[in-house]
Amino acid sequence: MYNVREFIYFLLVVIVAVGAMGPASSVGSAGELRTIPLSKRRLQVAELRSAANRYYRHAGGDGHRHRETSTGQVSLHTLARAVVEEPLQGDLLPLGEYYAVLGVDGQVIDVQIDTGSSNLAFAVSRCADCPPSDGIIHLSHWNETSVPCSDQSICLPATCSGLCGGCSYETQACCSFLDPSSCGMTLMYGDGSFVLGALHRGKVSLPAVNITVQRAFFTAILYDSSTFERPKVGGIWGLAYEAAACSPSCPTPLFDSMVKQGLVPRNVFSICLSDKGGALILGGEADSRYRLGPYSWIPIISQSPPVYYEVSIKDFEVGVGGSSLSAYIDSAIFDSGTTLLAMGDTAFTAVISSMKRAVCAGNSSFCHSRFWSEAPACTALSSSALASLPNMTITFKNDVKMVLDPDTYLIKVEVGGELLYCLGVEGIPGLGSTIVLGDVVLRRYTTVFNRENSSIGFAPSVPGCGH
């Protein structure tokens, strides 16, 4: 057994293996398209450097570069960056975390919508460290909803690993460190944040659309790392595939349960994000109220079982006929739980030097600005500097293109009447050649996650998403 401090230290420094799991999901038939309004919690400029990167971080190596990162590195890096930021109090960015409201046990809780992970988790009143202001659920029937660590239908001895908290000595059952009779769950994210909790199964409702999911799995958060508090919502709703839910037990994700219980017509959902709020459309494609023009479709990289909404990238260009960065960038994950456009350190350096080449051709002092030194630093930009900024163009399979123009990758913020621009692109050690298309990108493209035919559709979004 570890004590909490040792256990957390263990999480930060040790890479442990995670069990694999079988394929998932059948397709439901009944029900109608359900649209859940998403609200947005705005970020302050000071919080931008620690913006969320909630793609699920597998602890085990499975051939994907970005899943082999050491949590410790990312965590310290994030913290270090948070500390050096100059505070610009009170100035809100047109970015933030998007959340929906869930109902549990007669109470409601805000959960961040995250297509980069697969677990539903929220703070519960037994969590001594959870900030109460962020929303907390009091589970009044703890023993009925708790999944006991002896439940071998889900809490398999084979999954027993350091991620449980404690492996029972006699049975090798995977028990929560903070609630030794419950199945243990440890969720880790790409920004180094993590939570320790206990697996539960019970009713979870979506009050906005009058849907109740029976026997839905969720993780009751009993400890959260300090970085997990930043989104200032009580929990997280992971919408990626079941294979990314193994932490270490593999509970059926909420959306998969909805599909299996026939609560949505199709195994498809869509997301529209805007500067004000957004919409999560369960069971089909967002219609013309949310998008301008038809969808472009790209196949999700085939993996058995599927894990993420990851697609391959054929080319990544900066500027017209500009430098191809395909040597540095070869795939992208659509992730609503990541705030910025995130990429590996090497890819980030390459993107910045290509952009500077485009900008410095006019020999502007802008190319020496702090704006580039460590994104995201915010600066005022002259109209000529703005005009000199190139587009980034991503070419996916089948020559489908997505243009990220300066209006997309820049974040505008007004400080004391002055308009500042911050680069919405960040380098993250360990991401390798995978980039993460976070909210900076998703707020411009309404996105369909078609899990029936394993493809992603995107179309320019209607500003405001119908709000």
Ligand X SMILES: *[C@@H]1O[C@H](CO)[C@@H](O)[C@H](O)[C@H]1NC(C)=O
* Six-digit token string for 361: 């051709």
Q: Minimum Å distance from CB 9 to ligand X?
A: 28
Cβ proximity to ligand X: between 50 and 182 the closer is: 182
Q: Minimum Å distance from CB 303 to ligand X?
A: 15
Is 453 one of the binding residues for ligand X (CB under 6 A)? Answer: yes
Helices (H), 29-89: 45-48, 71-84
Is 320 one of the binding residues for ligand X (CB under 6 A)? Answer: yes
Does residue 212 contact residue 278 with C-beta atoms inside 8 Å?
no
Sequence-separated (6 or more) residues with CB below 8 Å from residue 103: 204, 205, 206, 207
Which positions from 185 through 214 interact with ligand X, judged by CB under 6 A? 210
Q: Minimum Å distance from CB 204 to ligand X?
A: 14
Kindly tell me the sign of the dihedral angle through the C-alpha atoms of 121, 126, 127, 133. Answer: positive
Cβ proximity to ligand X: between 225 and 323 the closer is: 323
Contact map string, positions 35 to 64, toward ligand X, x by CB under 6 A:
------------------------------
Binds ligand X by CB under 6 A, chosen from 76, 361, 403, 419: 403
Binds ligand X by CB under 6 A, chosen from 39, 44, 107, 181: 181
Q: Minimum Å distance from CB 96 to ligand X?
A: 25
Cβ proximity to ligand X: between 228 and 409 the closer is: 409
* Six-digit token string for 9: 């230290």
Which positions from 76 through 135 interact with ligand X, judged by CB under 6 A? none
DSSP calls for 196-226: EEEEEEEEEEEGGGTEEEEEEEEEEEEEE-G
Nearest to 449 by CA among 288, 272, 314: 272
Is 302 one of the binding residues for ligand X (CB under 6 A)? Answer: no
* Six-digit token string for 370: 């702090």
Is 30 one of the binding residues for ligand X (CB under 6 A)? Answer: no
Cβ proximity to ligand X: between 304 and 363 the closer is: 363
Binds ligand X by CB under 6 A, chosen from 297, 315, 322, 379: 297
Total chain residues near ligand X (CB under 6 A): 14
Does residue 392 contact residue 409 with C-beta atoms inside 8 Å?
yes
Contact map string, positions 365 to 394, toward ligand X, x by CB under 6 A:
x-------------------------x---
Cβ proximity to ligand X: between 73 and 353 the closer is: 353
How many Cβ atoms sit within 10 Å of the Cβ of residue 320?
9
Give the active site residues.
114, 335
Q: Minimum Å distance from CB 243 to ligand X?
A: 20
Residue type, 267: N
d(CA 352, CA 226): 31
Q: Which stretch binds ligand X (CB under 6 A): 117-125, 273-281, 326-334, 448-456?
A: 448-456
d(CA 117, CA 52): 13
Binds ligand X by CB under 6 A, chosen from 117, 274, 408, 455: 455
Does residue 270 contact residue 448 with C-beta atoms inside 8 Å?
yes
Characterise 454 by phi-psi region: left (phi > 0), alpha (psi -120 to 50), beta (else). Answer: left
Residue type, 442: L
User: Exposed, middle or buried, 15 (CB in 10 Å: 0-12/13-18/19+)?
Assistant: middle
Does residue 245 contact residue 238 with C-beta atoms inside 8 Å?
yes
Q: Minimum Å distance from CB 143 to ligand X?
A: 4
d(CA 322, CA 272): 30
Cβ proximity to ligand X: between 249 and 455 the closer is: 455
The two beta strands, 92-104 and 211-224, are unpaired
Binds ligand X by CB under 6 A, chosen from 89, 143, 302, 383: 143
Cβ proximity to ligand X: between 53 and 267 the closer is: 267
Q: Minimum Å distance from CB 305 to ligand X?
A: 18
Residues near ligand X (CB under 6 A) are 143, 181, 210, 297, 299, 320, 363, 365, 391, 403, 405, 450, 453, 455
